[in-house]
Structure 1
Amino acid sequence: MVLNFAHRGSLTEAPENTLPAFQKALDHGTKAIELDVQLTKDDRLVICHNHTFSKYNREINGRIRDFTIDQVKQVDVGSVFSEEFKGVALPTLEEVLEICPLDVKLNVEIKNIPVIYPRIEEILLDCLRKYDRLDNLVISSFDHVALEKVQQLAPDVELGMLFYYRILRAWEYAKDSGLNITSIHPNNVYTDRKFVEKCKENGFNVYPYTVNSVKRYEELVDFGVDGVFSNNPAVFGG
């Protein structure tokens, strides 16, 4: 089965990484959702891709890490998308888990660069355990040290290794990392048939990002990818 992740929810229909975006993805019948986690000043898991609020309000200085969850909840991240979503705030991971059915696979990406969040791995796993969400889940990151910490704390959790730039023989790097990597998540720009075949020969699923063109999606499926991350409901929809 090809598994297509709604990237930050249905971000063309609602503000990315918000409850309305995740709900719209679910309404499309998606079988998988990708989201990004960071920590607030008081160590709450908040869903956000960027490390600052500049995408939503350029007058707010500082990074997510500089604000408590109560302060984060006061920031309107919806108006910049449209008036329909005025007053929408960034959700906590708990809020997302409350609305996301267990049969929808989650890809939780730890956003650990450029900010390094001490203990985010432990806090994340505690939250997932609380909601019984360690199954049908993959934890991914560009920070491979964070993946190592997750493995030390929860050896059975699926790990996804993110790559932005091309590196020589990424599949060998993943295999030699000492991590129990389940999937490799490459930038789709350089994902070709050889890359996919080599990854799969070494036992890895391949989920390229971010694939919004149906034509490109069909090409990647022909290469043998196991799924993609996409902003396009025509790709991630059920």
Structure 2
Amino acid sequence: MTLIYGHRGARGEAPENTLAGFELCLELGVRRCELDLHLSRDGELVVIHDPTLKRTTGRGGKVSEKAVADLVALDARQGGPVWPRPSPIPTLRGLFEKCPFEHWQLEVKSASRVRAAQTVKAIAQLVEEFGLQEKITVTSASREVLGALQRDTPHLARGLVAEYAWLDPLKVAAHYDCHLLALNWTLCTPERLLKAQRQGLHVSVWTVNDASLMRRLADFGADSLITDFPSLARRTLG
């Protein structure tokens, strides 16, 4: 059976990376999610895709330069589907408290060596506090982040986010001893999928928003799909 992950919550149906989107996933019966993490100025993990605030909140500035108290006061409804209520930027702690997902893909964007280490250690501390070690995989396309995971938090499951084929994603995943391969759907051929699974990788294909593509990738044997439209995926895949 191909599993379903809500992409940034339910990006096509609710404001991305907000509590509203993650709660919508759970209401739809989608028990797995993917989200993006940055560290605030004061070291709190906040759930937002971009390093800057402009696209989702309309405000200026970088996430890393703002205190968490200022970030969670911002409404992150811009640039997505119309939504009737303010939707603040959440903290990862807040989502862990409120959303009982079966599994979380926590994506960390590119970071300096120091920032990568700070971020993965903060994730490890929070995961341990909530007892979620068996329910999370930390993913990244960044060599610095994957290296920090391997070096500083080897007990956390790791995943490679692969968007381009100029480096063999299976070799990169093996180099960092990854457990999961988050593979752009354009790279997901039956041959690569089978080879990855034989390598012991869970293959999670993103971002899959078309019903016919969902069915085709499920027929290929993809372990999971990441989608902006979890309601469509539920109707399509059951």
TM-score (norm: length of structure 2): 0.89
1:111 aligns with 2:109: yes
Between the aligned residues of both structures, percent identity stands at 24
List alignment gaps of at least 5 residues for structure 2. none
SS of residue in 1 equivalent to 2:46: strand
Change (3 A) 1:211 1:83: closer
What is the distance in 1 between the residues matched to 2:129 and 2:55?
31
Q: Deviations over 1:83-132 (max 9, x none)?
A: 5123x210000000011225x11111112358972511111110111111
| 8 A contact 1:142–1:161 mirrored in 2 | yes
| 8 A contact 1:79–1:85 mirrored in 2 | no
**What is the aligned-residue RMSD (CA, Å)?**
2.1
The structure richer in helix per residue is 2
Q: Which amino acid aligns with 1:109?
A: E
Which moves more between the two structures, 19-28 or 202-211?
A: 202-211
List alignment gaps of at least 5 residues for structure 1. none
What is the distance in 2 between the residues matched to 1:168 and 1:83?
40
SS of residue in 2 equivalent to 1:159: strand
Task: Using the TM superposition, give the Cα deviation of residue 11 of structure 1 relative to its aligned residue in structure 2, in angstroms.
Answer: 2.0
Task: Using the TM superposition, give the Cα deviation of residue 36 of structure 1 relative to its aligned residue in structure 2, in angstroms.
Answer: 0.8
| 8 A contact 2:113–2:148 mirrored in 1 | no
Which moves more between the two structures, 152-161 or 75-84?
A: 75-84
| 8 A contact 1:144–1:161 mirrored in 2 | no
| 8 A contact 1:37–1:47 mirrored in 2 | yes
What is the distance in 2 between the residues matched to 1:115 and 1:203?
28
User: Which residue of structure 2 aligns with residue 150 of structure 1?
Assistant: 149
User: Which residue of structure 1 aligns with residue 10 of structure 2?
Assistant: 10
What is the distance in 2 between the residues matched to 1:5 and 1:219?
17
User: Which residue of structure 2 aligns with residue 126 of structure 1?
Assistant: 125
Task: Using the TM superposition, give the Cα deviation of residue 192 of structure 1 relative to its aligned residue in structure 2, in angstroms.
Answer: 1.2
Change (3 A) 1:47 1:236: farther
| 8 A contact 2:121–2:153 mirrored in 1 | no
Q: Deviations over 1:108-162 (max 9, x none)?
A: 1112358972511111110111111111211101113312322333323221111
SS of residue in 2 equivalent to 1:108: strand
| 8 A contact 1:161–1:174 mirrored in 2 | yes
Which moves more between the two structures, 160-169 or 42-51?
A: 160-169
| 8 A contact 2:40–2:65 mirrored in 1 | yes
What is the distance in 2 between the residues matched to 1:117 and 1:169?
26
| 8 A contact 1:212–1:230 mirrored in 2 | yes
1:224 aligns with 2:221: yes
1:190 aligns with 2:187: yes
| 8 A contact 2:2–2:221 mirrored in 1 | no
User: Which residue of structure 2 aligns with residue 201 of structure 1?
Assistant: 198
